[in-house]
Amino acid sequence: MFSHISGRTRLAAALLGTGLALAGPVSLAQAAPLDNEPLSAYTANARAAQQAPAAPAAWAAGTRAYLVITAPGDTTAVRNAVAANGGSVFSSFDAIGVVVAHSTSASFAATMRGVAGVQKVGATRTSDVPADAYNPALPSSPSQAAAPSTEPVRSDMTQIKADQAWAVNQGSATVKVGILDTGVDDQHQDLAPNFNAADSVSCAYGKPDTRAGAWRDVDRHGTHVAGTVAAAKNGKGAIGVAPGVKISSVRIAEPGSTLFFAENTICGLVWAGDHGFKVTNNSYYTDPWQFNCPNDLDQAAILEGVGRAQAYADGKGSLQVAAAGNSNVDLANKTSDTSSPNDSTPVSRTITNDCLDIPAELPGVVTVAANGTSGTSKASFSNYGRDVIEVSAPGESVYSTVPGGTYASLSGTSMASPHVAGVAALLVSANPAYTPADLRAKLGEQATDLACPSDARCTGTTAKNSFFGEGRVDALKAVGGSTTPQPGKYFENLTDVTVPDNTTVESAITVSGVTGNAPATLKVGVDIKHTYIGDLKVDLVAPDGSVYNLHNRTGSSTDNIVQTYTVNASSEVANGVWKLRVGDNASADTGKIDAWNLTF
């Protein structure tokens, strides 16, 4: 059975034990929690969440949420009609013509459908709106564990060639990626360097809550996803696909139940469009219906409202990447749904392909299937579907960040989707003018073709099929294009070296196992933290003492040098001790060599 979170983790931890939140690596041979727990495992939690603390005066038992759809623009008349017909306006997204209304009246939806200017009305849930919606509690801020002292490159990153991409481009800090999920632990040592608090928010209940910390994780799912996208390359724990980009948390899950209702999703997507997110990751489906069917009045309103929000974000330049889900079903041949609604009592119903898993099946969204640990198989749980799946990515036993400064290996299409979001972030870092349509096209064009296994359910060609879409994404092509030769051996020094005032320091890398001379396109990756780079002269020193200047006191008061240089070192023997020499030539500002690398 497919749970509402495409990478379900909170209940997996409850069922399988807290030992899964490990501070160290987990062998890929070990089972990792799957985002595929039975509804019965979390129904009790969802119901418990409804038994909230004493309700504020504005809340009443029996309050339900509705989407009231009208023409985009001025929604004043419809908002007035809501108040005149037994409802209240909780929030309004005028640019897309969506009003979120609350009412305790059982006839509210039917009455509003008869109001002039109203196009659709639908209940977004089959349970009451929690009292917390009127006075939301801030999520807790977990204490942080000690940082790991190692940062091995893991197999999911090598499968998509992210480790090779980092030598070319680690992603631009001007690129913002939105994590629409259960929230993010912004204080985690692997996420804090890339966290963008200014554009983070809670959209739980369908209204932006911009209080500091409202974006924090009410589970651990969102923190895990965020680490896969952009955990910092800092020598600690894990590395994200795009460790140079910025991540913003848009919490759309409600506490306790961790459900993602339509008004929350709409709020999150509109926020993404309005705040310049180039990419968002969406590892969930919109609760309470696994599939929303247009012949149901409530679900038709959900389809319309969330669809408009996706189109709005896309039109503002934001690409949505979404998990395909974990039911191991063919999304191109739907027949039944037995898990909806998941906020009350599920019923068994017959469905058709007109019924959509959203946001994954909305137009313009990149739908991601999960590869198994081999990188060339479909993960057993992953949904599939001819002309539904766009691309695939690693989704089994993915090691990433979880709240409290710790790490865990988790499995699910939720874990595959952020790999693709990370590659999309690298693509737009290398090509800032790319539109969402450009990114969608390039992700498919650059993907590694994967042939169907011996499985009759897989239909199509090696270039495009129902299991893998156009193939497994390729981070290296994203940053270099097909004309860039693949880098060879990679060497790195992560030891910090302090750069005091008016002092020259060096950091060494010993190169071995490379035949002949260095290439004419030797890549020198430099990460220097310094508060005034106009003070700095930076040189690469070859084993024979030859000096190649990389940076010579330019940049004025700009902070930090995080850049990959290309050096023609073809006259130098490759093997030997190479040095990065950094000279501070003024007073007042200091820094350190944080890391540097060579790619032959």
For 542-565, give the secondary structure using H, E and C.
Answer: CCCCCEEEEEECCCCCCCCEEEEE
The active-site residue out of 340, 414, 417, 429 is 414
Report the DSSP beta bridge partners of residue 584: 536
Annotation says 188 is catalytic: no
Cβ atoms of 415 and 422 within 8 Å: the answer is no
3-class SS of residue 521:
coil
Segments of 260-381 assigned E as strands: 279-282, 319-323, 336-340, 347-350, 366-371
Cβ atoms of 535 and 586 within 8 Å: the answer is yes
Report the DSSP beta bridge partners of residue 340: 347
Q: Which of 256, 251, 229 is nearest to 240 (CA)?
A: 229
The active-site residue out of 4, 188, 221, 224 is 221
The active-site residue out of 181, 199, 287, 527 is 181
What is the rounded distance in angstroms from the CA atom of residue 324 to the CA atom of residue 284? 9
Largest CA distance in the chain: 84
Annotation says 414 is catalytic: yes
Report the DSSP beta bridge partners of residue 579: 508, 541
Cβ atoms of 453 and 377 within 8 Å: the answer is yes
Annotation says 501 is catalytic: no
Within 10 Å of residue 364's Cβ, how many Cβ atoms?
17
Cβ atoms of 321 and 365 within 8 Å: the answer is yes
Our measurement of the distance from residue 206's CA atom to the centroid of its chain's CA atoms, rounded to an integer in Å, reads: 20
Cβ atoms of 278 and 318 within 8 Å: the answer is yes
Cβ atoms of 419 and 411 within 8 Å: the answer is no
ω into 359 cis (within 30 of 0): yes
Cβ atoms of 410 and 224 within 8 Å: the answer is yes
What is the rounded distance in angstroms from the CA atom of residue 304 to the CA atom of residue 526? 48
What is the rounded distance in angstroms from the CA atom of residue 331 to the CA atom of residue 369? 11
In sequence order, the 6+-apart residues with CB closer than 8 A to the CB of 391 are 366, 368, 369, 420, 443, 444, 447, 468, 469, 470, 471, 472, 473
Within 10 Å of residue 1's Cβ, how many Cβ atoms?
15
- What is the phi/psi pair of residue 194, to 5°? -110, 5
Q: How far is CA 46 from CA 16, 37, 60, 219, 260, in A?
A: 19, 14, 19, 13, 12
What is the rounded distance in angstroms from the CA atom of residue 162 to the CA atom of residue 157? 5
Question: In the 8-state DSSP scheme, what is residue 279?
Answer: E
**Active-site amino acid positions:** 181, 221, 414
